[in-house]
Amino acid sequence: MDKHDRISPAVIRRLPKYYRYLGELTKMGINKTSSRELSEMTGFSASQIRQDLNNFGGFGQQGFGYDVENLRNEIAKILGLDNKYKIIIVGAGNIGQAIANYTGFYEADYEVVALFDKNPKLIGMSIRNAMIMDSDDLEDFLEKEKIDIAVICTPKSVSQQVAEQLVRCGIHAIWNFAPKDLKMPENVHVENVHLNESLFSLTYYYNRMNKEKSKNE
């Protein structure tokens, strides 16, 4: 078993945030930082940050802090961001097109190479340099092209079927925006993104805040 397999998923989910804030420090020309400064930026405690980074070797020196560029590069290696990845999007509606247009992909060496949809009005259009192709051509495309990640933006009624089709064609990483959790084999990693769940959480805190405000008036 790889030592990284024993690391909590919660730790892995914090790493991208560290990576993002370290990128902001780099753009500001800041070369050194500390766990305390990272704590102020990220909202995580300094001890939590040190503990997270110690899972991978630490990367800092007591009394000197962290070299910003080196730490960001090390986190990039841990996350696999030092490689390039090819992505397809299945479902070229509003969400699929918005994802294809997301500039963050291209800044981090993710390339959307094609989108797939059944809507004849969309087939043949291009978003950036990625053409929208007929969903019926998906399997033939995957036979010819090495794709690393598939994004599902289909209606939930077909999302499981699409995911199973992708897996049969060799895809083992799926970013799922369909409003349904996918059931996949253990050798397939799925990130289910439910936009309404985030919105509902925000609504809860908004209403709590309003109730507290009403009590104090």
pLDDT tens, residue by residue, 131-148 = 999 999 999 999 999 999
Please give the distance of CA 118 from its chain centroid, rounded to a whole number. Answer: 26
Provide the pLDDT confidence category of residue 75 given band limits of 50, 70 and 90: very high
Annotated binding residues = 91-96
Is residue 192 located within the same domain as residue 142?
A: yes
Q: Which domain holds residue 124?
A: 85-196
Give this prediction's pTM.
Answer: 0.87
- 127-135's contacts with Cβ under 8 Å and 24+ in sequence apart are 127/92, 127/97, 127/100, 127/101, 128/100, 128/101, 130/89, 130/100, 132/92, 135/90
Q: Does 210 map to a domain? A: no
d(CA 112, CA 100): 6
Q: Which tens digit of pLDDT belongs to each residue from 180-216?
A: 999 999 999 999 998 888 889 989 999 988 888 777 7
- What pLDDT shows up at residue 5? 58
Q: Does a structural domain hold residue 121?
A: yes
Say yes or no: 28 and 71 in one domain: yes
Residues 25, 59: one domain? yes
**Closest by Cα among 157, 148, 153, 103 to 128:** 103
Q: With respect to residue 58, please indicate whether it lies within any of the assigned structural domains.
A: yes
> Is residue 2 pLDDT above 80, yes or no?
no
Count of domains forming the chain: 2
Specify binding-site residues for NAD(+). 91-96
The full DSSP string for 51-66 is HHHHTTT--EETTTEE
